[in-house]
Amino acid sequence: MSDVPQGGATVFPVIGVALKPKKGTAAFWYNLHASGDGDKLTRHAACPVLAGSKWVSNKWIHERGQEFLRSCTLERPAEDLTA
């Protein structure tokens, strides 16, 4: 939602992609496989803003009512314990 003079990228370290913030653009990705399992390739992080400020907006899209089928707990799945 804003231009950032320096820093502030969203990085996907597993696939080696960095998206620089630019006003008027958007990034969209599916973070689940068809099975409903999380896709580790979509793990991402925000780099610090070094100059200016970064304004963002998130929109979560739930498909097929999965938010009611998959429980939400504080325990990590076994596959994440090795990460």
| Digit-coded pLDDT (tens) for 71-81 | 666 666 666 55
Tell me the C-alpha distance between 67 and 73, whole Å: 12
Residue 44: domain span? 1-83
SS3 for 45? strand
| Digit-coded pLDDT (tens) for 34-64 | 777 888 999 999 999 999 999 888 888 776 6
Number of Cβ within 10 Å of residue 52's Cβ equals 13
pLDDT band (50, 70, 90) for residue 30? confident
State how many domains the chain has.
1
